[in-house]
Each structure stands twice: as structure tokens, then as C-alpha cells.
Structure 1
């Protein structure tokens, strides 16, 4: 199934739905960071929710950042999400793998932990940023975001998200869904959603077995109104030029050490693991520019 995000309404407009397939997105992240299965599932779930939350932003000037740290061995998960559907992100420790003995499923909750917080920071384009923080409930990501929406944004929500990893570590399927009750939702609407959730297969299974997200929604709710469709992707806006600007934030002594001792340098982007090489001559030219015009 092609990576895609659909926004829709069900129950005569009383229920808002976000559903997405993110298999290629999560595989891109896994490959870039050489992630082990449990880490890939944890970051993949967060990237998937991030893509749906990014689509909730009101303008292309806005972005949001998700920070999760539950005290587990995976460390911090950080994801940036944008209104056009693209996301980027990383984990502190990409080489974590845990499974629940009784089920054999990936133990994301153990890797992430729940002795910490989920934090969402919204950059609303020049105005004061907004921040919402909740305590992690399980570390399984989906439950934690459901709690976040309900407590921090006062929007009763159900969040289902999943990543299926093959035996060779590549991503077989990934995707997610958010159901949100509108203020005018009735008890009947709530009952419909509860029945849908009761019968819901894991999202990774749905994405693996089905070929059309719109049909998935119709199968769940019957009559739905599709509001929009958009592609989603893992994409970073780093560049050689931006990394050069990072070099200007170092001290002159640090830059001269790179020139005289290392004869060049390499900078790695935290968000996508892309590596940028700078030759000794490039560094000398940059130093000459700074000496002439000052740090820019």
C-alpha cells in the first residue's frame, strides 16, 4: 500500500478520523539509522502519529516537535512533523531489541519505559509556542498519545498505531489511525466507535493485508466523508549549506583544530543520519570569510 494519509468524518460528522499507511516512511528511517526491530517499531509508531498530528496544523508555517523519554534503554525519541505530511526523527539508541515472552511481540513499552513524559511543542510561526506535556502511561506509544489528546488537548481520542517487522529486520507494514469525538458526538456515536475499536485488527495487519485506505474506512464505518488525501514521507531539510552554518557557531579554535589537525571534518545530521564532508580547503575558505565579514 502506498504511503498516504486520509482525513475523514464519520457518524454524520460527529467523529473525525485520521488514517495513514507509513510503511515506506518507517523503512526509510530504519535504513538510515540501522535500527533494530523494537527501536524501529518505537520510532515508527511515533513518526506515524507525528504525520497525523502534522496534518492537524493550521498552516504550512507551523510545525510540531514530539519528545518522548520514559527512562528506558531506547533513550529519547524525537520527531518533527509538518503540515504537508513529511516527518523526520531519531532515537538516542537505535540498537535495542526486546520481545514479550508470552506473545513474542516487540516489547516497545520495555524499550521506551513509562517513567517519564510525552511532550508536544507546537511552533505556530512566530507567535508564542504551545507546549503540552503528559506522563507516559505504558510506553507503547498509541496508549500514550490517546492519553495526551484527552488530557492535554481535551479531545477524547482513540489511537491505534503499529509497525510489523520482518525476520530480516525490514519493515513489512506500518500505519496508524486516530479517532476523535467531536463536541456534538452522541452516545450512539460513541457506541459505534467502541464497536469499531473492539473489532479492529492491529493497524500493521490492516496495512499489510489491505490495498485501499478509503475502503478500510468504509468497511469500518459504512458511510464516511473523505475530507482530504495527502502523501506522507520521511524527509529532512538538512543540507550542505545549513551544516556549513553550524560550523560558524563553533569557536575559532575549534575550527582551526579541524583545519590544522584533522584536515577537514564530517558533520552528521541527528534527524536523518546524512553525513556532510568538508575539505580542509572548504574550512579555510569559511575561516577567511568569517575573518573578513564576521560570523553570519
Structure 2
């Protein structure tokens, strides 16, 4: 089961989250038939979305948009406060030569571009923050966003391990944030401990859980657990939502579609579900407008 754990230090104002997202990444990438480069890049972004979604209050959502000049073009992830995550990549079959024996996510996304974070906090207008891509490795870009746009010193680690057959055998990550007033001694200690850790994928493949990751990060620093929540893929699309979109075309728009006497096919970008509306369906929609 994919899940996330959130903790806070007992003395210093430091909060941290760690998650495992292996099943989530496999399901999303299977739906989009992603090639290895896209699988790893999208998998990291899904983990980042899960971590950021856990910082929200009930009913709130966050959307991440990584957009660069590389062959992947863009990565979109949406996360809800209840642990629901979804996402897709612009070019799921993009490919590049290996770099130092590893998939080249940075050049796949592109060194030049932007990360836009949009939060629906159930207010009149959503909050939106945009920063330039920092390294295009996903984790560092999220940490840079927190520092630049929200002024919260943060460390983010994300990992996806891809087997030769294309299956993801380990995926997850962590997020640590220092809240004001900052305790420099504790922050320095955390930085040193992060630097000593093996890679996220190495830890997860060895059987480490989110609880284990946090215990390693907070070694010698007292903390207590705030919550544990499940993480899962779920799409927000439905036939009814697509119908509402067709209603928004107005009577003339629907009549124009009817004039072509063609069926309308709509595919959800997140889950790849197909919705078909034939002329009889469009006639019914027009009738409802009247």
C-alpha cells in the first residue's frame, strides 16, 4: 500500500513528510504507456505532488506544472488533501541517451523553463506561484519553489527505480521544512544527515518504510507523528463533467456539432478514459438547453 507519514520535531520548528508511491507511479505510467525517461520524470513529480498535497487542509488541492524546452515538454500533477494524486507527461514516449549510465531527466524536461504551483485553497482566487526551473531534476525544483515563492527553507528528495522490464519497483520521497523561528543548529544537523543518506530508491528497495526514512533523517532529534494517510490514484473526470463542458458551448456550438453528424470523442488527459457522444446524445443536450 502507498502511504505517507507526517511528523514534527518536538523542540525545533521542523516538519517533515515521507512517502512511498510505487503503486501510484506504476498505475499512472501504465495508463499512459510511458517510456523509461517519462516514467522516472513523471514518477518523481507524482511523489512531489503527494508530499505537497499532504500540507493542505481538507478540501484543498494543488497543481504542479513543470514546463521546459526538452522532449518531455511538460509534466502536470494534481494532488488533493486526502491523498489522491493524478498526473501525466506531455510526451510519454520521449527518449534520450543515458547520461553517466542514468536516465537524463534534466535534459528530458529541459534546462530552460518554469515550475508553476497553483493551490485551490477554497478562496475567491487560487494562489499561484511561478519560478524558473532550477535543475530540472524535479526534487530540487520543488525545494527552490518553496524557498523562492513561499520563503520556507526546504529539502526535497524523490526517487524512482525502474526495472529492466519497465516496471517501477520503488518510488517515494521526503520533504523537510524549517518553519520560523528557525533553529540553525537543528537545521545544520538535518543537512548533514541528509547528505549521509543513500539514495531514496536504494533505501526503499532495501525495505525501508516512510517511518524508517523519517527515523534516519531525525536521528538524535526528538519528534512525534502527526498522521499517516493512504496515497492513491483517482481521476476527477466523469461523463457528467464532460456533458457540462458540452453545455458550456451553448446552443449554437452544439448545433454546429450536430450539423457535422459526427460523434464526439473526448479523452481525459489524466486517466485516458474515453467518452463518446453520438448525434442522439448531442440532440438530447440541445433539448435540455431549450
Give the structure 2 partner of residue 252 of structure 1. 254
1:91-240 to structure 2, matched below 5 A, reads 91-102=89-100, 104-222=101-219, 223-240=222-239
Establish whether residue 35 from structure 1 lines up as the match of residue 34 from structure 2: yes
The alignment partner of 1:226 has SS state of strand
Specify which of 63, 69, 72 is matched with residue 71 of structure 1: 69
Cα shift at 1:133: 1.1
**TM-score normalised by length of structure 1:** 0.90
Cα shift at 1:253: 4.1
Structure 1 Cα separation of the partners of residues 198 and 11 of structure 2:
24
Q: How many pairs align?
A: 285
Give the structure 2 partner of residue 268 of structure 1. 267
Cα shift at 1:215: 2.8
CA RMSD of aligned residues (A): 1.8
Establish whether residue 84 from structure 1 lines up as the match of residue 82 from structure 2: yes
Give the structure 1 partner of residue 20 of structure 2. 21
Cα shift at 1:11: 6.3
Unaligned runs of 5+ in 2: none
Residues 251-275 of structure 1, C-alpha deviations (whole Å, 9 max, x = no match):
13442145x2x3x332101122111
Unaligned runs of 5+ in 1: none
Cα shift at 1:284: 2.7
Segments of 4+ moved more than 6 angstroms = none
Cα shift at 1:197: 0.9
Contact 2:71 2:95 in 1 (8 A): no
Contact 1:113 1:138 in 2 (8 A): no
Structure 1 Cα separation of the partners of residues 191 and 123 of structure 2:
40
**TM-score normalised by length of structure 2:** 0.92
Cα shift at 1:211: 4.6
Q: Which deviates further from its counterpart, 244-253 or 169-178?
A: 244-253
Cα shift at 1:153: 0.7
Cα shift at 1:14: 2.8
Structure 2 Cα separation of the partners of residues 147 and 117 of structure 1:
11
Contact 2:246 2:254 in 1 (8 A): no
